[in-house]
Homo-oligomer: A and B are copies of this chain.
Amino acid sequence: MCVPGCQEVLRRTLTRRGFVGAGAAASVAAAMAPGPAQAQAPRGFKRIVDLTHTLSPEFPTFFGGPGIELQRQFDLERDGFNLNWWRLIEHAGTHFDAPLHFSAKGGAVESFAPDTLVVPLAVVDIRARAAKNPDYLLSRQDLLDWEKKHRRLPNGCCVAMLSGWGAYVTDEAKYTGRRDGVLHFPGFSSEAAQWLVGERKVWGLAVDTLSLDHGPSKDFAVHRIWLGSGRWGLESVANLHELPATGATLMVGVAKVAGATGAPARLFAFV
């Protein structure tokens, strides 16, 4: 059965025959598979928003060092073509978190099928609260308030936190909030993550900050709950402020690398 509003949201996004999970994602996929009634013809879209920051050695990272280094191995004048080798932290820039990042037997990035990576996107705007408190935790109440305005979160969606931090990526001090070894930026609360795992059918969490957990977190509780449940995350997402709260479709173009716990992802939103 489709809850009130659900069919309409799905109709506005994608035709999806149902989630086809792979590897560790299979059990989550089975639990979230929408029924035939939800496999509707999609409506079109009018624009594509790039939700991806450009990664460079200057892009802020959780640990402070460069997230990527490019080494020119072949040079056009000398060799006839240009080619670099990268040294890359697989969790740098706009990137994907796989269950394996925080669980011993969780799926790696290549275990997610396309049907689990093209999903409805719900944007929860906490900018006003985060402006007053940089350590703000997105709460279950914030999600309930969102549903009161926009109907129930659509099955198989990604829930994105719009904190406003995406505007700070060129200012390392502001983006990380690093003071005395502690970071400061907003994140999901573990209560909200737990509620989404238990009470809604959601594939992904996304944040416009460095981490699903807020900056001061020491236990990475949200990472443990969310990735441990077989779901995926997205961090350092760009341009969420350009999207409507509901109605966009997210395409997660995550690099398909065997055994990776995370990977750079090109994110497009179809509005």
Contact = CB atoms under 8 A, between A and B. Distances in A.
A146 B262 CA distance: 40
Contacts of A47: 17
Contact of A86 (B14, B42, B114, B257): B257
A191 interface: no
Contact of A82 (B41, B68, B100, B118): B100
A17 B46 contact: yes
Interface stretch (A49-57, A152-160, A163-171, A192-200): A49-57
Contact of A118 (B110, B220, B268): B268
B110 A54 contact: yes
Given A55-B255, A259-B70, A102 B82 contact: yes
Copies of the protein in its oligomer: 2
Interface string A251-266: 1111111111110111
Interface in A83-132: 83-91, 93-94, 100-104, 110, 113-115, 117-118
A88 B91 contact: no
Nearest to A100: B82
Contacts of A114: 48-50, 268
Contact of A254 (B49, B53, B253): B253
Contacts of A104: 76-77
A140 B205 CA distance: 47
B258 A54 contact: yes
Given A83-B91, A88-B88, A90-B86, A54 B256 contact: yes
13 contacts: A44-B44, A50-B256, A52-B256, A53-B256, A54-B257, A70-B257, A73-B89, A81-B101, A82-B100, A83-B262, A85-B89, A86-B87, A253-B265
